[in-house]
């Protein structure tokens, strides 16, 4: 397993507030990693830096040795925490648009997943419910053959049955060359598929640990540990 | 999705499930296990964890892997029976320890279980 992601003393200031404070860690390929923290802890800021949407105040992040830019965007599949697609487009138009845009996109996979979740390709995006819009976004991301999948709150808005499907999609898409970084609050739904967790609080990395070690050493679930670490 | 205990490491739980399935002859027909990813998706767990469980069972002599083909159950399942027996004994020991802390010796616990079960 090789190093996929490296953070070195990553800091992001918004005025006087530090959204990220001196975060350093590395991530190998072939892992499913949970990025966990309460609201406002810096999860989305971190993810935006990874994708080159924000620049760090100091420190740096490297994806396979490169700073975020066009060549890392070609290998990072990013699911933002909001729907960003054009509402007037139909689902199949969006699929074609993505296929045009990303060399690693599989149209066949996209249609297969749409079919499984019962979303008609002919429908316009604005006619879809919030949950179905989120499913479309996730399908587009998971249809790529990326090196790193970065999913910001992928299951928050979808129903529990679809949640199971999303989780099994992540498992089925598993590939020893790629890693998946998932930020979420819904820890108990997802903890069984994780290899590792990163806990962040007020922009600090407070814990990076294998979930099997957490269960073995603490005798508790990740959800329980989270509630303990982040107790009010 | 079979129920796994979230407070315990997943890997040994997968080993237990597979061990029971092997002894029960679930994989008798082909002796070949489903792909790691399929097993993982079926249980809703991490593929790396399933891989680790399979490696453990190989070490214990229950499975063998064939490069490029997958995982196979060994013809002779006596080893699987032994491992399962050890797991059961371990659970009983744990149970005895709990009952001891609740004031029953192992002998008393056996009596108590028999009486309670027949009621």
Q: Are B73 and B102 members of one domain?
A: no
Rg (CA), chain B: 17
DSSP track, A31-53 = -EEEEE--TTSSHHHHHHHHTTS
Here the tokens at position A79 are: 């699911």
- Looking at the domain assignment, is residue B95 inside a domain? yes
Tell me how close the Cα of B97 comes to any Cα of chain A, in angstroms.
Answer: 17
Same domain, B18 and B69: yes
For residue A27, count other CB atoms closer than 10 A to its CB: 20
Range of the domain at B24: 10-79
Q: What span, in angstroms and rounded, lies between the C-alpha atoms of B85 and B101? A: 25
Q: Can you tell me whether residue A201 is helix, strand or coil?
A: strand
Give dist(CA A223, CA A210) in Å, integer.
14
Cβ–Cβ below 8 Å for B44 and A164: yes
Number of domains observed in the structure of chain B: 2
A24 DSSP 8-state letter: E
CB pairs under 8 A between A and B: 56
Place of tokens 């419910």: A129
B85 and B33 within one domain: no
B72 plus B86 within the same structural domain = no
Taking CA–CA distances from A169, the nearest residue in chain B reads B41
Specify whether B14 is located in the same domain as B61: yes
Which residues of A fall within a CB distance of 8 Å from B34?
none
Q: Do B64 and B85 belong to one domain?
A: no
**Residues 6+ positions from B116 with CB-CB distance below 8 Å:** none
User: In this predicted structure, what is the pLDDT of residue A81?
Assistant: 85
pLDDT tens-digit profile of A71-109?
999 999 999 988 888 889 999 999 999 999 999 999 999
The sheet with strand A58-63 has its strands ordered as A17-28, A3-14, A58-63
pLDDT band at A22 (very low <50, low <70, confident <90, very high): very high
Read off the pLDDT of each residue in A210-220 and give the average, rounded to a whole number: 92
Q: Are B15 and B58 in the same domain?
A: yes
The burial class, CB within 10 Å (0-12 / 13-18 / 19+), for B5 is: exposed
Residue B1 lies in a domain: no
pLDDT per position as a tens digit, A173-210: 888 889 999 998 889 889 999 999 999 999 999 999 99
Q: Which residue of A has its CA nearest to B52?
A: A212
* Structure tokens, B11: 């890997």
For the four alpha carbons of A16, A19, A25 and A29, in that order, the dihedral sign comes to negative
Name residues of chain B where pLDDT drops below 50.
1
Q: What average pLDDT does the segment A138-142 reach? A: 92
Kindly state whether residues B84 and B51 are assigned to the same domain. no
In-domain check, residue B47: yes
Nearest CA in chain A to B42: A168
Chain A residues in contact with B7 by the CB 8 A cut-off are 215, 219-221, 224
B16 and B46 housed in the same domain: yes
State both tokens at A131: 């949950």
Tokens found for residue A133: 């819009």
Residue B3 domain-assigned?
Answer: no
Same domain, B54 and B85: no
On whether both B68 and B17 belong to a single domain, the answer is yes
Task: List the structure tokens of A209.
Answer: 């640990």
Cα B116 versus chain centre, distance: 27
Give yes or no: residues B47 and B74 share one domain: yes
Q: What is the mean pLDDT of residues A220-224?
A: 92
Residue B37 lies in a domain: yes
CB distance B7–A215 less than 8 Å? yes
Here the CATH number for the domain that contains residue B54 is 1.10.10.10
Asked if A70 and A109 touch (Cβ cutoff 8 Å), the reply is no
* Residue B101 lies inside a defined structural domain of this protein: yes
**Which residues of B make CB contacts under 8 Å with A?**
1, 4, 6-11, 37, 40-41, 43-49
Give the model confidence (pLDDT) of A33-78 as tens digits.
999 998 889 999 999 999 999 999 999 999 999 999 999 999 999 9
Hey, what domains does chain A have and what are their CATH numbers?
3-229 (3.40.50.300)
Instruction: For B20-48, give the DSSP string.
Output: HHHHTTTTTTT-BPPPHHHHHHHHT--HH
DSSP summary character for residue A105: B
Alpha-carbon B101 to chain mean position: 26
Is residue B64 included in any domain, yes or no?
yes
Contacts of A31 in chain B (CB under 8 A): 48
Q: Is residue B5 part of a domain?
A: no
Instruction: State CA B46 to chain mean position distance.
Output: 17
């Amino acid at each position: 397993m090789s190093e996929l992601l490296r953070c070195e003393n990553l800091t992001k200031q918004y005025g006087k507030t530090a959204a990220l404070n001196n975060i350093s860690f590395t991530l190998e390929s072939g892992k499913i990693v949970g990025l966990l923290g309460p609201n406002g802890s810096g999860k989305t800021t971190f993810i935006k830096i990874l994708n080159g949407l924000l620049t760090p105040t100091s420190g740096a992040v490297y994806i396979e040795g490169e700073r975020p830019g066009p060549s890392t965007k070609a290998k990072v599949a990013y699911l933002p925490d909001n729907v960003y697609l054009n509402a007037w487009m139909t689902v199949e138009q969006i699929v074609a648009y993505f296929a045009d845009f990303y060399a690693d996109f599989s149209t066949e996979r996209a249609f297969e997943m749409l079919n499984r979740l019962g979303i008609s390709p002919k429908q316009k995006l604005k006619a879809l419910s919030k949950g179905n819009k989120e499913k479309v976004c996730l399908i587009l991301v998971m249809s790529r053959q990326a090196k790193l999948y970065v999913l910001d709150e992928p299951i928050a808005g979808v129903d529990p049955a679809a949640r199971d499907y999303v989780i099994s999609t992540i498992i089925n898409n598993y590939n020893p060359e790629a890693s998946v970084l998932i930020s979420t609050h819904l820890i108990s739904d997802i903890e069984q598929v994780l290899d590792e967790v990163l806990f962040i609080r007020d922009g600090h990395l407070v814990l990076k640990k294998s979930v099997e070690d957490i269960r073995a050493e603490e005798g508790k679930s990740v959800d329980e540990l989270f509630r303990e670490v982040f107790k009010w | 999705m079979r129920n796994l205990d979230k407070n315990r490491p997943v890997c040994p739980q997968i080993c237990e499930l597979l061990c029971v399935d092997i002894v029960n002859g679930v994989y008798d027909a082909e002796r070949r296990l489903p792909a790691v990813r399929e097993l993982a998706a079926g249980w809703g767990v991490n593929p790396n964890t399933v891989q680790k469980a399979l490696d453990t069972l190989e070490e214990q002599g229950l499975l063998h892997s064939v490069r490029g083909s997958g995982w196979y159950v060994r013809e002779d399942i006596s080893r699987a029976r032994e491992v399962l027996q050890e797991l059961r004994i371990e659970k009983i020991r744990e149970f005895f320890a709990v009952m001891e802390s609740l004031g029953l010796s192992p002998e008393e616990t056996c009596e108590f279980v028999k009486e309670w079960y027949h009621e």
